[in-house]
Amino acid sequence: MMIPPAEKLGLAVALVIASLSAFSLFVELIISMNSAFGDGLTQEELTGSLGNRKADLLIKMIPAVVTTETLENGQKPIIEFRLFDSNTNQSFSHVTYYIILEKDGKKLFYDMFHDHDGDLKIQMNPNSSSNISITGDKTPILDLWIGTSTKPVAISGPIFLSGGLYHFIVRIETVDSDTAILPDIQAPIYNSWLSIGNTENQQINVDGKQVPIKIISYYDKLKDFGFDTKNMQLKFDMPFNWNLSRLENANIFVHEEINVPKPNAFTAKGGYTGTVNGVNISKNVMLDNSNSKADVIHVMLPKNDLLTLADRIIKDGQALSGIMSFTVKPQEGSSMGSVPSSNSSMSMGPMS
């Protein structure tokens, strides 16, 4: 994808270089072009390089679990951007980040941000206003937004209002020196799709009684929810691109969470089984039963399992539908595992 030109930084740097010609010899950076991808996580490390140095980008959402429900209750998450050498775990200094945020192909905002220590913090303040506004401190010469852990940049407006995937496009404009600007063809680019959990409240009929359940999708918005009262089977669909090349080149993780109050006939068997597009994925269905008042069921599909699923679904001719179709139902003595808490699976590092 084409990155819009960085006119503001280019003009500012040109003025600085013109007025500080004595400093015209900067460190020459020979950068191999990188376009690293991630998909459906709340934290990831994207691999890149600056000459012979590793230049990985950490993009991290704080706290790890952000959903439409928590945002409606006033949560203001922080997004951290840290460019570092993964061989030494040392952050690069004087990093300028050109950041674009998109949702469903629509650009929400883009601007320049800088951190002298390479560890940028941006606070997201979702609201229903019509425009995006940015507040915070700026660098004195280049007039770039700066955000630290004690005083992050704040972005307010119609962002994170709906669940699903948010596409961050990050281009590195400077490293090592505030004015050591990288040529466009050498500036590394990172692509990441971070997830805002979409919370849906539904009702199911169990033995003639309405039972309220909550489903949180940490990948994309769900649709076509249904419940078969006879078989006690939940069903819901989610948009999904089954392209194998895309999956092979992405850090990707699909996580669905189902909260069902207990006791009732649906929770009585103490276990659950599941399918995706008709394929049994019960080994990926985990139960957190630490809450005496509810079963928390997790369907968790890491990259390797998604690749196996995609290969089968493509061969079965289902991939063109662009749908991941889930079913979950109770089953005694299922082979499902267990998880200690609902937050344990939401953070992943680099995946091959």
Q: Are both 191 and 205 inside the same structural domain? A: no
In which band, very low, low, confident or very high, does the pLDDT at 346 lie, cut at 50, 70 and 90?
A: very low
Is 248 inside any structural domain? yes
Q: What is the pLDDT of residues 323-343, one digit of tens each?
A: 999 999 999 755 455 444 434
pLDDT greater than 90 at residue 23:
no
In which band, very low, low, confident or very high, does the pLDDT at 352 lie, cut at 50, 70 and 90?
A: very low
Q: Are both 189 and 239 inside the same structural domain? A: no
Select from 165, 196, 227 the last residue of a domain.
196
Please tell me the predicted confidence (pLDDT) of residue 4. 53
Q: Are both 170 and 247 inside the same structural domain? A: no
Select from 169, 196, 223 the last residue of a domain.
196
274 in Cβ contact with 326 (< 8 Å): yes
Is 250 inside any structural domain? yes
Q: Are both 207 and 185 inside the same structural domain? A: no
In which band, very low, low, confident or very high, does the pLDDT at 39 lie, cut at 50, 70 and 90?
A: low
Q: Are both 180 and 329 inside the same structural domain? A: no
Is 142 inside any structural domain? yes
Q: Are both 278 and 253 inside the same structural domain? A: yes
299 in Cβ contact with 281 (< 8 Å): yes
Give the residue-averaged pLDDT of 32-37. Answer: 37
Is 264 inside any structural domain? yes
The residue segments making up the domain with residue 240 are 198-338
Q: Are both 140 and 260 inside the same structural domain? A: no
Is 12 inside any structural domain? no
- Would residue 345 be called left, alpha or beta, if left means φ above 0 and alpha means ψ between -120 and 50 degrees? alpha
Is 123 inside any structural domain? yes
Is 77 inside any structural domain? yes
Is 169 inside any structural domain? yes
Instruction: Say what the pTM is.
Output: 0.77
Give the residue-averaged pLDDT of 124-153. Answer: 92
Select from 172, 196, 220 the last residue of a domain.
196
Q: Are both 185 and 202 inside the same structural domain? A: no
Q: Say how many domains are in the chain.
A: 2
Q: What is the pLDDT of residues 71-125, one digit of tens each?
A: 999 999 999 999 999 999 999 999 999 999 999 889 999 999 999 999 999 999 9
Give the residue-averaged pLDDT of 253-265. Answer: 94
Q: Are both 158 and 224 inside the same structural domain? A: no
In which band, very low, low, confident or very high, does the pLDDT at 185 lie, cut at 50, 70 and 90?
A: confident
Q: Are both 56 and 110 inside the same structural domain? A: yes
Q: Are both 189 and 202 inside the same structural domain? A: no
Q: Are both 230 and 163 inside the same structural domain? A: no
